[in-house]
Amino acid sequence: MSRAEVLTDQILERIKGQDVRVKREEILKRMKLLIEEFKVPESEAVRTITSYLVREYGVSREELMERESPLVRISEITKPNQWVSLKAKVVQLWDSNSPNVSQVGLIGDETGIIKFVIWTRAEMPEVQEGRSYLFKNVVTDSFQGRMQVNVNRTSKIVEIDEDIELPPREIQVVGAIISFQQNSGLIKRCGECGRVLIKGVCQVHGKVEGYDDLRIKAVLDDGESVYEIILNEGNIAGLTGIDLQKALEIAKENLDRNAVLNELRNRLLGRYFRVKGLRGGRYLLVEEIEHHKPSVSEFDHILEALA
């Protein structure tokens, strides 16, 4: 059975009992067109067809979502294209360069940590790091082999007065920084929401003055796994002696803010570090980081990784 047929049957199962006189062939035709011809992600194809059924056949979106959104734990999220609800704490927020994404980051409960995406078109209230929420009617998805949950127009986010426990997954790894990711170095943030400004523009608040910040988004390789990490000004200053004020001086002397990033690359890229933090899949939430002198075998490994 093809994926289009599987998804079609899932939709038919969801609308069972709502007296909807729609033929399987009609849904299947639309599903094949979306995912096979136009290469639309499966979760988006399901959402599009569901919206079509609501509009054309009077399917009750509220009843449908309520029925199909059981409260689950993060460890139970193993497959894409499932409608679920979950209680979770916002562990970390990231910056997004896409105007289609309102917020993106990590949420967690006592069983695990997972990436979440709030789409701009969902028009949801913003969430804040360290606070707990009920994420209702979100859809599971898989991106680059990793599970995530997407918040769209049929979802709801409600802040709850609970301190959701995170998994006891504090680890210590020794690895090398093998690459820097976009929006690292001396950056500008929006004074209203803290998002990174792109050419002086915040995707939410438009052209603003902004304020300076120093951070690195990097990939750490320990020889067995790779981790995505974020180093704040304190981390960077502790490793390089470059704090925000020093970074501004470097940018001014060189008449180029990119000079800061180049200097940080020279001091950190390819170097080994001992990192302590909370592990969430490929993500490592840094609590402590320090330099580490590599052995001969570790040095050979990093040469291979950088080749």
Q: Which residues of 194-211 are buried (b: 16+ CB within 10 A; e: fewer)?
A: ebbbeeebbbeeeebebe
Whole-angstrom distance, CA of residue 32 vs CA of residue 10? 14
Q: Which of 271, 279, 280 is nearest to 299 (CA)?
A: 271
Instruction: For residues 8-15, give the mean pLDDT.
Output: 80
Whole-angstrom distance, CA of residue 177 vs CA of residue 172? 15
pLDDT in tens, 51-108: 888 888 887 666 555 555 788 999 899 888 888 999 999 998 988 878 889 999 999 9
> In terms of pTM, does the model score above 0.85?
no
% helix / strand / coil in the chain, to the nearest 5?
30, 35, 35
φ/ψ (deg, to 5) at 207 = -75, 120
Rounded to 5°, the CA angle 35-203-259 comes to 110
Q: Please give the pLDDT value at position 68.
A: 56
Whole-angstrom distance, CA of residue 145 vs CA of residue 169? 21
Rounded to 5°, the CA angle 140-89-137 comes to 35
CA distances from 246 to 206, 215, 218, 240, 254 (A): 29, 13, 21, 11, 12
> Does 306 or 285 have the greater pLDDT score?
285
Residues in the chain: 307
- For residues 205, 206, 207 and 210, what is the CA-based torsion angle, rounded to 10 degrees? 30
CATH class, 74-159 region: mainly beta
Paired with 158 in beta bridges are: 134
CATH 2.30.29 fits 170-306, yes or no: no
Average pLDDT across the chain, whole number: 86
